[in-house]
Structure 1
Amino acid sequence: MSGYTFNQKTSALPLARCPHCSVAVPNLRRLKVDVETNDADNKRPRAWGFFACSVCGGCVMVGWEGITGFCDIWPDSNGFSGDIPEEPLDFLKQAAETLSSPRASVVMSAGAIDAMLKAKGLVEGKLYPRIKQAVEQHLLTPDMGEWAHDGSSGRERTATCGRQGDSSDD
């Protein structure tokens, strides 16, 4: 992932979340292995640093271009496409951040589905009929629609906290 600026001599990588375990404000300490590489024409020197998460032990690789502070990071700690609109992206990030709390993650996932459908112009009515519309308009494949319906049903079950009653949007 591009777009970071860190000093090449940094001993700790200041990321908001570990790209492996998603722990907030991880302790990513630099390992003793550094590597320098160049392209075939010796015109693209790069310095590589490796950082390990103190929680999960996952390794993050950082590549700096020349002597600048601009760098790429692998794996990408965001992991989401830059094509996703801001509101659905916020919900997706929260869903990923709450994976250790399944109910919260399901609610955030359903919120992401809802926000994405709204971003695509499907704003009227309950969520499940809008998912069906998205499939009919070929915004979602039938399999994606089924997956989205499963997520929205989970949100409805979570919202009722196990109470009896109709939680279906059908």
Structure 2
Amino acid sequence: MKQGNSLPLPRCPHCNIAKPSLNFGASITTADDRERNVRNWYLYKCSVCGGVTMATSDVFDARNASMSDVLEVWPAPQTVHDSIPQRARTFLQQAISSIAAPSGAVMLAASAVDAMLKDKGLKEGNLYTRIGKASAEHLITAEMAEWAHEVRLDANDQRHADEEGPMPDEADARKSIEFTLALAQFLFVLPARVADGRARASKG
């Protein structure tokens, strides 16, 4: 992926729309105090949400700076780790992709939480009860369980269009997704990374 008139990301890091039009807006070239580590910084604006994404690259030839390979992007597009079970991973990826439709995103995030807990053998009771049990079994921290009560995970209300339940907004959806990603980190991603690190250490 190279710098240019547009940034070819599969999704906007802000609104998660697929195949976004991220158009070049401004750039600056910087160096350190010894005129080394020369880098080119490009800003790209999403034509849908207006969010700005920044991409940086090394500058080897000032005349061709705009065609340098992109090294890093901020904010980084959200990804779902492969260590998360497939069913939960699919629900979570769909939640991230549909954040512009908050009710659907909350329901999908709750479905991802449900799938993760079931994978750990926690199948009885509602989501909050099972999250509490995960804390009691030290799969997650007590603070993590308390956090669950601060976010929207009322998937049942969304599916049945509870007339008394307030409709979630995009902020609610983002909080639900943030919690779900954190839960996935505790239950699957961190254990997988620890196992991988130990395996590599034993070979070294």
Task: Give me the TM-score of the superposition, normalised by structure 1.
Answer: 0.69
Q: Please report how far the alpha carbon of residue 158 of structure 1 lies from its aligned counterpart in structure 2 after TM superposition.
A: 3.0
Confirm or deny: 8 A CA contact 2:21 2:46 kept in the other structure. yes
Shift of residue 122 of structure 1?
A: 2.9
| Residues 6, 23 of structure 2: 8 Å contact kept | yes
Instruction: Name which of 50, 53, 60 aligns with 2:53.
Output: 60
**Partner secondary structure for residue 71 of structure 2:** strand
Instruction: Indicate whether 1:17 and 2:16 are aligned.
Output: no
Q: By percentage of residues, which structure has more strand? A: 1
Alignment of 1:1-170 (within 5 A): 6-8=1-3, 10-31=4-25, 33-40=26-33, 42-67=35-60, 69-78=69-78, 85=84, 87=86, 88-118=88-118, 121-128=120-127, 129-148=129-148, 151-152=152-153, 154-162=154-162
RMSD: 3.1
Give, in angstroms, the shift of residue 55 of structure 1. 1.9
Identity of aligned residues (%): 33
Residue 18 of structure 1, CA deviation = 1.6
The Cα shift of 1:60 comes to 1.1
Which amino acid letter does the alignment assign opposite residue 47 of structure 2?
S
Contact 2:55 2:70 in 1 (8 A): no
**1:115-163: CA deviation from partner (whole Å, max 9, x where unpaired):** 33245x23543553432221102333445335546644x1123334449
Contact kept, 8 Å, 2:6 with 2:21, in 1: the verdict is yes
Instruction: Give the Å deviation of 1:56.
Output: 2.4
CA distance in 1, matches of 2:71, 2:93: 22
Aligned partners of 2:81, 2:35: CA distance in 1, in Å?
A: 32
The answer for unaligned runs of 5 or more in structure 2 is: 61-67, 164-204
Q: Which amino acid aligns with 2:74?
A: W
CA distance in 1, matches of 2:106, 2:49: 24
2:143 and 2:99 mapped to 1: Cα distance? Answer: 23
8 Å Cα contact 2:12-2:20 kept in structure 1: yes
Instruction: Give the TM-score normalised by structure 2.
Output: 0.60
Are 2:80 and 2:92, in contact at CA under 8 Å, matched by a contact in 1?
Answer: no
- The structure with more helix, counted as a fraction of residues: 2
**Higher deviation after alignment, 33-42 or 81-90:** 81-90
Q: Deviations over 1:22-54 (max 9, x none)?
A: 2222111112x3222234455533222111111
Report if aligned partners of 1:52, 1:58 keep a CA contact under 8 Å in 2.
yes
Post-superposition shift, 1:73?
Answer: 0.3
- Tell me the matched-pair count: 153
Separation in structure 2 between the aligned mates of residue 38 and residue 115 of structure 1, nearest angstrom: 48
Which secondary structure does the structure 2 equivalent of 1:25 belong to? coil
Can you give the 5+ residue segments of structure 1 that lack an aligned partner in the other structure? Answer: 1-5, 164-170
Q: 2:45, 2:52 within 8 Å by CA — same for their partners in 1?
A: yes
Equivalent residue letter for 2:17: V
Structure 1: how far apart are the matches of 2:84 and 2:41? 32
